Amino acid sequence: MENENNKLGENINNAVDDVKEYIDLRMQLVQLNVSEKVSVALAGLITTGTAVIFFVLCFIFGSFALSYMLGNVLNNTAAGFGVLAGFYLILGLIVLRMGKGSLKMKIINAFIKEFNAD
């Protein structure tokens, strides 16, 4: 009888050890999955951020060139900058108005899809 109790106790100890090992492995898996998601997100953010910086610089220098060109056409440099500023103001108001609706949801969905992509 005591031999059976020892075997039962040994089996319970083995089962407890297996459960502990399983929990440890699951925790390691969760940590690896989280670190992978964060790494992918950061890499995407850095590469996209760098590209955005270059696009913004291109846009700024292109805007200066267009403003000076309009200034030459209008024979007034300030007027060229004013016309372009007014165009950007109208464009910004349109985007702001659209941003309150479907555009905002499209951006949110794109971020969610990117973060959950496997």
pLDDT, one tens digit per residue, over 79-111 is 999 999 999 999 999 888 877 767 777 777 877
Angle between helices 102-116 and 77-99 (to 10 degrees): 70
What are the two backbone dihedrals, phi and then psi, of residue 2, each rounded to the nearest 5 degrees? -65, -35
Q: Residue ranges per domain, the chain? A: 2-116
Backbone φ, ψ for residue 100 (5° rounding): -80, -10
What pLDDT does residue 5 have? 67
**Half-sphere exposure for 87 (CA within 13 Å, toward CB):** 10
Q: Are 71 and 81 in contact (CB under 8 A)?
A: yes
Binning the chain into helix, strand and coil, the percentages to the nearest 5 are 95, 0, 5
List, for residues 19-29, the tens digit of each pLDDT value. 899 999 999 99
Q: What is the pTM of this model?
A: 0.62
CB atoms within 10 A of CB 11: 10
